Amino acid sequence: MKQMLYIIALCLGLASCADISFAMLYGGSGEYNFSNADLDTAYHIDEEKIHLFTVPSEDDTIHGMYLGDFSQLENDTIIVYLHGNGPSMDGFWSTVAVLANIGHQHRYGVVMYDYRGYGKSTGTTQNAASMAADYDAVMLWLEHRGLTSDRMVVFANSLGSLPAGPAAAGGSRITVEKLVMEVPQSSADVIMQNATGLSLPSSMITEYNFNLGQDMENYPGELLWMHAEEDDVAPVETARSAMRRHEGTYYREEVYPNVGHGLRWDIGNEEWTRVIHEFILN
Amino acid sequence: MSYKPFMKKSIWVILAAFVASCTPTKIVVPLEEGQVQVGATLGRPKINSGSLPLLGIYAAKGVSESTTAYGAAQLSSALFGAIQLDGGVVKSLRPSQGFTPGFSYSYGGNVFFSARDYAVRVYPEAGANMFWQRGPHILNVSVNSWVDPTWFLAEYGRGQILAPSLGAGYRLRYKWLEVQAEYKVVNPTREIHVPQAYVPSTLGLGGRGFYWGAAINF
């Protein structure tokens, strides 16, 4: 018995505080050279409508981008795009350009930003609290420029669903009334359990706990869930279980067969924008 | 879209693999009574186009001619704030004679403890080994399964009670030294899924990889 206690004490001493989140989150460098040369002509953005900005988030600086005229923030619908797990906003430039041009050229203002440790944003994203702080910093920037909840659409792609969930569940200073979840994850525990085949909680390896099913249960607004049947990054079964916990004012799901996590590229811009625009106008 | 280097991307898989019922088969042929073995194991589960290092240590003692008790700790998990211990016994059913294989079986348990929120999980396990021993050379085929008594805690009803593994290997037990190599197929009853990583599988199920071990006998 004494030996066993020694072993346990030794293991406790060996147990470090390393967190798996540093490996889950692929933040990297960003150039922020947003050029029409990278875009299909149908989705070009006038240079004067591309605005880069920074906001403070606790001790860090968040870099963001706004596409559109600032006057739109006061009187038009704005899409807040929470990007996926790529190094920086650079990888999502073509996506936000499409969003800005849904309906007709420069129809919607679009905001996007890099989480801590992504692109030029300083610091490191470690947990739900840092994600929430970064989101709130951008919300504050938008609020000061006149954006109100009835004109805001939050669009979360993959990793972006992590800050979007708690925000929709009441954690947003500008209340979320319309939310698009595109290829979202479901929960940190599900990721752990899918990776191990055991009923292990994610706390075994990370403090980054999230539960989008719980968030959707607490989100009263409108939800559009878009997913791919063959998604090998965010399995459709568990995402479906999480999204269908939503009991808000409106729910729509679009699940596409024979396509993967890169949904927009797989289904094409025409179908992608059709569904999103119908939801925005709903 | 560019990504960070392979190792950084794959730490998830390290954690996934070491817990996925794939600790190496430590003892196949029970030790002699009173004999003590201290060793280290290195799991190399495959991920993407490479393999990953999962390090563990163990100690075993022959408590009788036919029974060996062992205890082990997985060091890779400790790095991320989880204590993973396992222990059990291996019992001989019959020795190997010529081409006639010997048999042994094992049972024990695995304990996981989170240093973050003190969550605990306990997974009993049982296994059987068929082996051929000729002098210092031992060939083995092993089956093992962890039992998940808290399968119902898995989200969205995705838990499974059994987490089996299959292995085949060779070990050299020569005087004070024992070395082993084993190829294992783990969790072949379900799809192992790690975001943004490819886990080589068997017919789309489970994971697989080589496991190595080295030990000193006293």
Q: In terms of C-beta density within 10 A (0-12 exposed, 13-18 middle, 19 or more buried), how is residue A48 classed?
A: exposed
Number of folded domains that form chain A: 1
Q: Could B8 and A195 be called an inter-chain contact, meaning their C-beta atoms sit closer than 8 Å?
A: no
d(CA B212, CA B103): 21
Interchain pair A15, B85: CB under 8 A: no
Residue B192 pLDDT level (bands cut at 50, 70, 90): confident
Taking CB atoms and an 8 Å limit, are B80 and A18 in contact across chains?
Answer: yes
B114 touches chain A (CB under 8 A): yes
| Cα separation, B131 vs B2, whole angstroms | 47
User: Has residue B15 got a pLDDT over 50?
Assistant: no
Collect all residues of chain A within an 8 Å Cβ-Cβ radius of residue B117.
201, 203
B174 and A CB contact within 8 Å = no
pLDDT at A19: 57
On chain A, the residues whose CB falls within 8 A of the CB of B204 are none
The domain in which residue A95 lies consists of 2-281
Please tell me the predicted confidence (pLDDT) of residue A10: 47
Provide the residue-wise pLDDT of chain A in tens; the chain has 282 residues: 455 445 444 444 444 455 555 556 777 889 999 999 989 999 999 999 999 999 999 999 999 999 999 999 999 999 999 999 999 999 999 999 999 999 999 999 999 999 999 999 999 998 899 999 999 999 999 999 999 999 999 999 999 999 999 999 999 999 999 999 999 999 999 988 888 889 999 998 888 889 999 999 999 999 999 999 999 889 999 999 999 999 999 999 999 999 999 999 999 999 999 999 999 999
Beta strands in A130-219 (DSSP E): 152-157, 178-182
- Per-residue pLDDT of B43-93, as tens digits, reads 666 666 666 667 889 999 999 999 999 999 988 778 778 888 999 999 999
Chain B contact probe: residue of A38, A198, A215, A216 with most B CBs at under 10 A: A198
Least CB-CB distance to A197: which of B10, B116, B160? B160
Q: What ipTM did this prediction achieve?
A: 0.83
pLDDT tens-digit map of B125-146 = 999 999 999 999 999 999 999 9
**Interface test mutation site (partner A, options B110, B113, B116, B199, max chain A beta carbons within 10 A):** B116
Residue B204 scores a pLDDT above 90: no
Single-letter residue type at A16? S
Can you name the residues that pair with A153 across neighbouring β-strands? A79, A178
Amino acid, single-letter form, for residue A141:
W
Q: pLDDT-derived band of residue B19, with 50, 70 and 90 as boundaries?
A: very low
User: What's the pLDDT at B3?
Assistant: 32
Greater confidence (B151 vs B23) lies with: B151
| Chain B residue numbers touching A206 (CB-CB < 8 A) | 80
Q: Is B25 helix (H, G, I), strand (E, B) or coil?
A: coil
Closest CA to A84 of A155, A22, A15, A137: A155
Residues of B in contact with A24 (CB under 8 A): 12, 195
pLDDT in the model for residue B11:
47
Query: Between chains, do B8 and A185 touch, taking CB under 8 Å as contact?
Result: no
Neighbours of B202 (CB within 10 A): 13
Pairwise CA distance, residues B83 & B69, whole Å: 20
* CATH number, residue A41: 3.40.50.1820
User: Which residues of chain A have a CB within 8 Å of the CB of B16?
Assistant: 195-196
Cβ(A128)–Cβ(A209) under 8 Å?
A: yes
Which residue in A has a C-alpha nearest to residue B47's C-alpha?
A195
Q: Which of A196, A203, A241 is facing B20, going by the closest CB pair?
A: A196
A12 chain-B contacts, CB cut-off 8 A: 83, 115
Please indicate if any CB of chain A lies within 8 Å of the CB of B204: no
How much of chain B, in percent, has pLDDT values that exceed 70? 84
Residues of B in contact with A128 (CB under 8 A): none
Contact residues, chain B, for A196 at CB < 8 Å: 15-16, 19-20, 192
DSSP for A212-246, written as a single string: HHHHHHT--SEEEEEEETT-SSS-HHHHHHHHTT-
Size of interface A-B (CB pairs under 8 A): 161
Using a cut of 0.95, tell me whether the model's pTM lies above it. no
**Cβ atoms < 10 Å from Cβ of A37:** 7
Q: At residue B4, does pLDDT exceed 50?
A: no
Report the chain A residue with the minimal C-alpha distance to residue B72.
A7
